Each structure stands twice: as C-alpha cells, then as structure tokens.
C-alpha cells in the first residue's frame, strides 16, 4: 500500500499530531547534526549570537525533559548537559521550531560573510603560467 492510497495526509493530522511529527523530526535532525555533522554545527555556533532565555520551550518539544524542575529550570544547566542541549539552537530551523510553540528564542544567527570573488581570475593566472613555460 502506498502513502497516497491511505487516507492519512498532512491535512488530516490534528494540530497536536503534526506538531509531534515536526518536533520529533527536529530532535532527530539535531541528534544527527551534533554527532555526525560536527563541522556544520561548529560553523553555525560561530554565527550564533544572543543568549538563552531559559524558557524551557526547547526542553519540551516532544516530551518534557526529566531534568526540568517545577520552575521549568534545568537541573544540569551549569554542570552536565547533553551535547544536543548545549548546541541548541543549531540553526534557524530550531529558532523557527521554538516560534511554532509560541516562544521567542534569545538566539539569532548572523549571515555568513560573503566570499569575495578572487582579485584575479583563475583563467588569467593559468594563462600566465602556461606562457612562462620554456619552449
């Protein structure tokens, strides 16, 4: 049975179900990035500015983190946190995910600097080198 043969579509999912799917996919994406795309995460961390508001929205996307206190503060914030928690948000997608929950993340991402074009073309440089070869 293919997906289009079922009655299940994104429009038939309830808001709660679709939010769960989005947040679960986000958790899985962050896990993958933190442990398998470390260079990407490091580049993103260099672009990340701001600070955590400690609102705990990111700690309760799919489930409420067991490390949250009744006051919604992290018990392990200054001592031991999972790498995914330390690196949140990794990119703009994570900030958008917080916004979907009605929160405002204290972080933002600056645009990466544009690479300026080389001062001379590769072709011109290559042509000069070819001409410099003795006959």
Q: What is the pLDDT along the chain (135 residues), one digit of tens a residue?
A: 444 545 555 455 677 677 788 888 999 999 999 999 999 999 999 999 999 888 888 888 888 889 989 898 888 888 888 898 899 999 999 999 999 888 899 999 998 777 655 555 556 666 666 666 665
Q: What is the pLDDT of residue 123?
A: 62
How many other CB atoms are found less than 10 A from the CB of residue 92?
Answer: 14
Residue 94's Cβ-count burial label (10 Å; 0-12, 13-18, 19+) is buried
Element counts in the chain: helices (H) and strands (E): 5, 2
Closest by alpha carbon to 67, among 53, 57, 77?
77
The structure tokens listed for 117 are: 């074009």
Q: What is the pLDDT of residue 2?
A: 46
Under the phi-then-psi rule, with left for phi > 0, alpha for psi from -120 to 50, and beta for the rest, what region is 81?
A: beta
Would you say 74 and 104 are in contact if contact means Cβ atoms under 8 Å apart? no
């Amino acid at each position: 049975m293919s997906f289009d043969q079922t009655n299940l579509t994104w429009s038939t999912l309830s808001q709660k179900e679709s939010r769960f799917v989005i947040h679960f996919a986000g958790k899985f994406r962050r896990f993958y990035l933190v442990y398998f795309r470390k260079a990407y995460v490091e580049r993103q961390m260099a672009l990340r500015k701001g600070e955590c508001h400690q609102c705990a929205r990111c700690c309760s996307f799919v489930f409420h983190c067991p490390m949250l206190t009744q006051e919604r503060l992290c018990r392990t914030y200054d001592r031991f946190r999972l790498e995914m928690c330390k690196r949140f948000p990794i990119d703009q997608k994570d900030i958008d995910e917080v916004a979907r929950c009605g929160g405002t993340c204290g972080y933002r991402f600056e645009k990466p600097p544009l690479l300026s074009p080389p001062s001379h073309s590769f072709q011109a440089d290559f042509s000069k080198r070819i001409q410099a070869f003795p006959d």
